Every structure is written in C-alpha cells, then in structure tokens.
Structure 1
C-alpha cells in the first residue's frame, strides 16, 4: 500500500508541533466510541464530572469512563421519531458489543459510561482523528437531512452514480484495487427496473445484469483485470436513454494510499478499517470513493451482527454522493 514518507526535517517538525501544541485526548485505561447519533445532537446531553457539558459530540468521539449521557425528550416536528425509529445514541464498548440509549433508558437518570474491557485508549494522532470525525459528522448530517426529506415525501429521482468522478481526464477516473472476487456497485434515483453494463476499452461487454429491482448490485470481481480501464453504464430498463455513466481503472494494491497513523493504531478492527476508508475518500481528488465503497461493504460483510453503523453510513454516503 502506498504510504506518505516524510523527510527527517518534517518528522521532527511534526513531533515538536504535537509536543507543544497538542495534549493527550485520553488519560484513562479505556474508552468507548460514539458510533451513531440518530436525531439532532441537541437532544443528547453528554457531561463529564467537574468539566461540564461536552460541546459538539459526534460520531467518532471517544468517551472515558465517568461521562454521563442523557437522551432528552425531543420537542421537534418529528416528535423524537425519524425513519420509524426513536432518537438514540449508540456506543461501541468492545469487540461486537454495542449499547444503544433512547429517551426511556435515561429519563430517570443519565447513563454513566463504563468500559467492559481493559484495553488501552486508541493510539491515534489527534489531527487525523479530527479529520475523520468531521467527515463522519458531515455524512451524518447529510443522512439526517435525507431522512427528513424522505419523511416529508420528497426525493430526487434523477439517475446518477456519485461513486464515480465526472471529469473526462483519465487521471481522474475512479480507482479500484484489483484481486477481489466481488465488486459492489451502487447508484441512486431513476425508476426500476435497472440494467447494468460494464464495458472494457474495446467496448466489449464484460458484465451485464438486467431487470434489477434495487439500486445496488454485486459484480464478478474476477472479470476486472489490473491496469485495465472500464466504463459502467446503469440505465432504466424500460427507458434506456435515462442512464448514468462512470469510469474506473483497476490498480495494484501498492497504489492504495494508507494513513500510517491509523494503520498503526490499536483501534478495534471495525473502527480502524472504517477510519481508514473514511480518510481515503478525500485523497487524490476523491478518485478513491469507489474503492472506499468496497471497503465499507466488506467491513459490514466481515462484521455482520451487529452492523458497525459508521461503515453503513460511509457506504450510504458514498452511494448518495454526500462526500462531494
């Protein structure tokens, strides 16, 4: 995987900057992660003894033992219900262990954060953590607005594929790491059923599926060869002129950018992989969105129950184009 190598001078500068201008985020023996906030954050109150209310909590925020969480009774136009689910906040406590809190769980008193294991705090550089948190929060807010739009009965129906860039410059084609047995494709809008065709450089169809009743499909990864260029066309089966087109190039894994600080951290596997994929989407003019989409689905595949919501949000956000 491609990693960014810095000169000795830059490394020393960064080390000094972190020493003098940053402070440790965690001081306890363990932390829990906020992985989902369903609803407006103003209905969730998080406080720490002797320090007061935590401002702007979001996905990817880590809480030490002792933090107190209270879900307030929502007094908005949705009355605390969105997408048929109550407003809630979900914590990632340990491997495959999550805790979801709703109004009824804290109305008689706040929930006090505690760890169920003795793993050390994540060893993650603060600047990359802030970057990932901001990206996840942006996707969360977009998702919140999208759910509110759906609740209001309005949704755009133009067929599009935000996973792919629209720039005709070959250097801006989406990039996909080869060697997969399955490749996942998603789009939005249009009217079902759909037809998907994938063409190679010689305009030969290498994959075709029709009469699809949903806005995603699984393709045979073995049909896509490294260093080859492909064009994807998704169309409405009954109205072929209503279509969306995307292009991608299959690359070797060595070309994949990797943030070393995340890779070397001791985050739980679901979080580490999700943070790495989240970091990836903004690299190299966002040509890695298609690859990050694969990674998000693979995380959900490898950890099916319970689903790791940040990966689900990343998958949905990339498909909807919320990262643009």
Structure 2
C-alpha cells in the first residue's frame, strides 16, 4: 500500500490557493472595468440631467424677458431682442454680476445663438488671461493656469462670425466660499427626502441656480459641468 506523502498534499493545496488567487485577479481585470464604466455612465447621466436643468431654467427666464421686455444687463434691449443673436447665458441679462466661487482655474461657458466659429477671451484688469478661437461647439472651457481671486471682476468678450454682429461684453465676480447661500432646514430636508438620485441632484442645482435672483446660476452651471456630484449635494447640506 502506497504511503501518503504530506509534501505532495501540501504542494496540491499550495497550487490550488495560487490558482484561486489567479482566477480572482482575472475576474477583477474583466469585471472591474465594466463596473467602473457603468458607474461612470450613471454619474455622467446624473450630471447631464443637472446641466440640462440649468439650461432649461435659464432659457425660460430669457424667453420671458423677451416677451416682457424687462431684461436688464450688459447690452441694450434692442440687441437682446434680436432673434438668433449671440448670447452668453448666465452672464447676460442681469442687474447684478454673476458670482463664481474662488479657487477655480477652469471656467465653463455656454454660447447660444450667433454664428460659429466663436472667439472668447477673459480679461482681468485689462490683461487677457484666457483666450480661445475657432470655437465650433456651444460649450467651451477656458483654463488659464491660475486660480480665480476673491473680489476680482473678470470681463468676458465673445464674438461670432455673423454679419454685422457685435461682440458680447459681460463679466462675473469672484466671491469667497463663505458667501455661498445656505438652504433653510425645510429646503434641505425637502431635497434630502427625494428618493430618485437624479432628481435629488437636479433639485440641488435648481436651488442654487435660483438664489439671489439667479446670481448663482453661473456657479450652478460650473458644478453641473465638472461632475462633482458630492460637492453639489454638500451645498444643499447632503452628505453620502
């Protein structure tokens, strides 16, 4: 009768353990990218809905201002009422300056109407700090490698290639985080109690965009574009 070899048994167990480890590693290689892709897609969907909401909200205000002829802001009424004229949403048509929080080194702009390609530049104290030309898309980001400074006004000049078109000249103001509006207890609970994640995120963006007569809509648009869902929810007092 053949004797049992403990060394052989140990070798079998050792190789079985190694094989299980290899199988698990292979599973991670195959499954994790798919899972990550799905999670990224879901997150992108959340952000896309929030961005669409801010745009729809602004469009509603702009069209209403055309009808009532009460829109103030950086350009005269006749220019604003020109059909298909170039506009810079969130920055135009306001009595007070749009507000952005300090610390950004990239700003997103949404261009509407006019005739592309567009040219956009941002100036601070008469010095050009951001410039991009031959822009064919409606949404564009500018990165000038330095963070926005508190208390500073930044001028935005946008032009298109339509005949007899005038540049849009407007501006935004950079403020400290401490100036961010805060939701009331009721507003916070109302948003927190929304079960659907997409609706909760959009409601938070809606709340910020409508604060102080829309002065925070430009900031809400930035948040919806940069994809930081946790940061958006935290502004409404919600943590995950």
Shorter-chain TM band: 0.5 to 0.7
Q: Partner residue of 1:291?
A: 219
Cα deviation 1:176-223 (Å, max 9, x = unaligned): 0122343211120111111001111x2111101001111221112734
Q: Is 1:184 paired with 2:87?
A: no
TM-score, scaled relative to structure 2: 0.54
Cα deviation 1:36-89 (Å, max 9, x = unaligned): xxxxxxxxxxxxxxxxxxxxxxxxxxxxxxxxxxxxxxxxxxxxxxxxxxxxxx
- Structure 1's unaligned 5+ residue stretches are 1-95, 98-134, 146-155, 304-324
Determine helix, strand or coil for the equivalent of 1:242: coil
Distance 1:140 1:273 in 2: 17
Contact 2:110 2:138 in 1 (8 A): yes
Instruction: For residue 276 of structure 1, report the CA deviation from its aligned partner.
Output: 1.8
Q: Partner residue of 2:85?
A: 158
Instruction: For residue 246 of structure 1, report the CA deviation from its aligned partner.
Output: 1.9
How do residues 31-180 of structure 1 correspond to structure 2 at under 5 angstroms?
Answer: 96=42, 139=57, 156-167=83-94, 172-180=96-104
The counterpart of 2:208, out of the listed 265, 270, 280, is 280
TM-score, scaled relative to structure 1: 0.41
Distance 2:123 2:229 in 1: 30
Contact 1:193 1:211 in 2 (8 A): yes
Q: How many residues end up aligned between the 2 structures?
A: 155
Q: Is 1:225 paired with 2:149?
A: yes
Instruction: For residue 257 of structure 1, report the CA deviation from its aligned partner.
Output: 0.9
Instruction: For residue 240 of structure 1, report the CA deviation from its aligned partner.
Output: 8.4
The counterpart of 1:205, out of the listed 91, 104, 128, is 128
Q: Partner residue of 1:58?
A: none
Distance 1:198 1:240 in 2: 22
The 3 A distance-change label for structure 1 pair 269 and 220 is: farther
Distance 1:237 1:223 in 2: 31
Instruction: For residue 232 of structure 1, report the CA deviation from its aligned partner.
Output: 0.5
RMSD, aligned α-carbons:
3.6
The 3 A distance-change label for structure 1 pair 141 and 218 is: closer
Question: 4+ runs of 1 displaced by more than 3 Å?
Answer: 138-142, 237-241, 260-264, 266-273
Instruction: For residue 163 of structure 1, report the CA deviation from its aligned partner.
Output: 1.0
- Structure 2's unaligned 5+ residue stretches are 1-41, 44-52, 64-82, 231-240
The 3 A distance-change label for structure 1 pair 252 and 190 is: same
Q: Which has the higher strand share?
A: 1
Q: Which has the larger radius of gyration?
A: 2
